[in-house]
Amino acid sequence: MDYAATRKNLIEKTMAGFGSEARETKEMARLFFRLLEQKLDLNERDEPPTEEEVKEAIEQLKDIGRLSVFATISILPGGGISLIGLELLAKKFGVKNFTFVPTSFRKKAKNF
């Protein structure tokens, strides 16, 4: 294959990948909205959710992402140490409230 055909093929694959990512992101946004709607019980109430309810719901949505990273890293050899290292590194660079540990695991850790 010549250079132009190879580059054209690469560009087409890249564009298809972007299209796929856009569709997946749109679907994830729908899923998050449904989860947020359910968490805040929006269909069954007349008054808007309180600021505290919204904060709790958003924290729950963050936990979905945290759980996937937490579970993936935790099953790797040395994963627990890696999680601690990432959090310490983030704190060293001034990133506040950075954690991959889901809320429910943090609550359990405080009770030990």
pLDDT tens-digit readout, 5-64: 888 888 888 888 778 878 887 888 888 788 878 878 888 888 888 888 888 888 887 887
pLDDT computed for residue 37 by the predictor: 82
How crowded is residue 57: how many other Cβ atoms within 10 Å of its Cβ? 20
Q: How confident is the model at residue 1 (pLDDT cuts 50, 70, 90)?
A: low
pTM above 0.75, yes or no: no
Integer CA distances (angstroms), 50 to 4, 5, 34, 65, 84, in order: 57, 57, 18, 24, 34
**Res 105 pLDDT > 80:** no
Is the four-CA dihedral 69, 71, 72, 77 of positive or negative sign?
positive
pLDDT computed for residue 3 by the predictor: 84
pLDDT computed for residue 67 by the predictor: 80
Token pair in block for residue 39: 């968490």
Section 67-96 average pLDDT: 84
C-alpha span between 23 and 50 (Å, rounded): 32
